[in-house]
């Protein structure tokens, strides 16, 4: 199986965003665990697993085949997953094609994640499960609790018209709850409750050194800055 053949919504620009963020942390941050809320068939989890250091743990949380019967999804999400229900078996087979051991798997709603992961234990959290406002808000609160100082949270679909609930939860956290944006791609926003500057500088340097992507000029929002990471010509 090739990585590109795994279905999912994890594009090369975010494969770079994840890899560069995790490699920056590997070089500069204390050890910490990785967490993914919303795993589907494992495309982003497989890359996260590749950046684990000795002794660190990746936990993934997904309803898998229970997504259709879970009562917290709205009709739009149910319609979406009706034709694409992921199964845990498919996820495990995909993950095992790239790694010798599975990650910790929590099969259940992301709202239960704080019962499985210790406060302050994570350096990186990817929020990509339900895109309903109340659920993303709850996942954001969990990320804040579970992240270590300067840990990074990544939100999927923070700006799509079909995902206004995610947009609302993300900007509420930025404008009211001290979350600081670091950089954004078309699909994902990378942020921290710690110091955003060192990671922003590292991403800018990695983009400059690459021949296929770039960062734009910083955009000011109140006293914060955010940069866009994009392919050349986009
Ligand atoms: C957009 S997909 C994740 C994509 C994946 N990160 C990738 O890169 O391919 C969203 C996943 O979240 C799961 N999901 C949706 N709502 C959930 C919830 N409340 N709790 C746990 N998992 C949920 C779905 O089963 C689905 O697998």
Relative to the CA of 7, which ligand 1 atom is closest?
9
- The answer to whether 26 touches 53, Cβ cutoff 8 Å, is yes
- Nearest protein Cα to ligand 1, atom 11: 38
Strand partners for 127? 37, 155
Q: Assign a CATH topology to domain 3-231.
A: Rossmann fold (3.40.50)
Query: In whole angstroms, what is the distance from residue 75 CA to residue 79 CA?
Result: 6
Relative to the CA of 40, which ligand 1 atom is closest?
27
pLDDT at 234: 83
pLDDT at 39: 97
- Nearest protein Cα to ligand 1, atom 6: 39
Pocket (CB within 6 angstroms of ligand 1): 8-10, 38-40, 43-44, 61-63, 67, 72, 86, 109-110, 128-130, 135
pLDDT at 123: 98
Looking only at the bridges linking them, the beta strands covering 219-221 and 213-215 are unpaired
- Report the SS3 class of residue 161: helix
Relative to the CA of 38, which ligand 1 atom is closest?
12
**Closest to 48 measured CA to CA, from 79, 90, 80, 14:** 14
Query: In whole angstroms, what is the distance from residue 118 CA to residue 59 CA?
Result: 11
Total-model pTM = 0.97
Q: What is the pLDDT along the chain (234 residues), one digit of tens a residue?
A: 899 999 999 999 999 999 999 999 999 999 999 999 999 999 999 999 999 999 999 999 999 998 888 877 777 777 777 778 889 999 999 999 999 999 999 999 999 999 999 999 999 999 999 999 999 999 999 999 999 999 999 999 999 998 999 999 999 999 999 999 999 999 999 999 999 999 999 999 999 999 999 998 999 999 999 999 999 988
Cα(170) to centroid(ligand 1), Å: 17
- The domain limits of the chain are 3-231
């Amino acid at each position: 199986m090739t990585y590109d053949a795994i279905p999912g919504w994890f594009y090369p620009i975010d494969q770079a965003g994840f890899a560069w963020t995790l490699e920056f942390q590997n070089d500069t941050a204390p050890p910490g665990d990785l967490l993914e809320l919303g795993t589907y068939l494992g495309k982003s989890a497989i890359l996260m697993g590749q950046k684990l250091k000795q002794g660190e743990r990746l936990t993934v949380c997904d309803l898998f085949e229970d997504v259709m019967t879970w009562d917290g999804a709205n009709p739009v999400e149910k319609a979406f997953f009706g034709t694409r229900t992921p199964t845990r078996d498919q996820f495990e087979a995909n993950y095992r094609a790239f790694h010798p051991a599975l990650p910790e798997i929590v099969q259940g709603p992301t709202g239960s994640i704080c019962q499985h992961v210790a406060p302050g234990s994570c350096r990186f959290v990817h929020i990509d499960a339900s895109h309903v406002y109340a659920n993303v808000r709850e996942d954001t609160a969990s990320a804040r609790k579970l992240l270590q100082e300067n840990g990074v949270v990544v939100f999927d679909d923070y700006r799509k018209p079909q995902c206004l609930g995610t947009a609302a939860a993300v900007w509420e956290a930025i404008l009211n709850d001290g979350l600081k944006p670091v950089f954004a791609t078309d699909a994902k926003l990378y942020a921290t409750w710690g110091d955003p500057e060192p990671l922003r500088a590292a991403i800018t340097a990695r983009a400059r050194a690459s021949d296929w992507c770039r960062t734009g000029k910083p955009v000011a929002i109140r006293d914060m800055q955010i940069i866009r990471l994009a392919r050349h010509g986009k």
